[in-house]
Amino acid sequence: MVIFVTPNLVELARLTGSAPASDEKGAWRQADELSRTVGAAVLVKGGHAQGSRCIDVLLQPNLPSVRFDAPRWPRGMRGTGCMLSSAVASSLAHGASLEASVSRARQYVFDALARSKDIEPKS
């Protein structure tokens, strides 16, 4: 069994006792530290980052990191991280790998947001 955590940038900083990462490379370093320290798979969610793209990075012990990229939705949305982690858990329960589960979950959340009439992704 692998421990799996899904911190955003602020949560990742708290878990590592660091300041929030200012870029993807800094977030990757913090996630790698957390992964090595507790032996966990870490999905760093880029929802609190800047830019027109939302980059998430999955680090798993003894495996190469995987970068996920999608258009960024407007700020002020709540609950997307909870929806994402629940969708990952559901996919894992159906026997998918962690990487496939994260990919499917991200698409699920993106599609759910796309169906909303109140938001449009940033271009």
For the chain, strand residue ranges (E) read 3-5, 40-44, 53-59, 66-71
17 is a domain residue: yes
Q: What is the pLDDT of residue 78?
A: 62
39 is a domain residue: yes
Q: What is the pLDDT of residue 100?
A: 95
Distance CA 29, CA 33 (A): 6
8 is a domain residue: yes
Specify the pTM. 0.80
Per-residue pLDDT of the chain (123 residues; tens, 9 = 90+): 678 999 888 889 999 999 988 877 888 899 999 998 888 899 987 655 566 677 888 998 888 889 888 776 665 566 678 888 999 999 999 999 999 999 999 899 888 877 776 655 555
Q: What is the pLDDT of residue 83?
A: 87
97 is a domain residue: yes
- The CATH number of residue 13's host domain is 3.40.1190.20
* Rg of the chain over all Cα atoms, to the nearest angstrom: 14
Q: What is the pLDDT of residue 97?
A: 93
Number of compact structural domains in the chain: 1
Give me the domain span that covers residue 16.
3-114
122 is a domain residue: no
81 is a domain residue: yes
121 is a domain residue: no
Q: What is the pLDDT of residue 102?
A: 94
Closest CA to 57 of 46, 71, 72: 46
66 is a domain residue: yes
Q: What is the pLDDT of residue 19?
A: 93
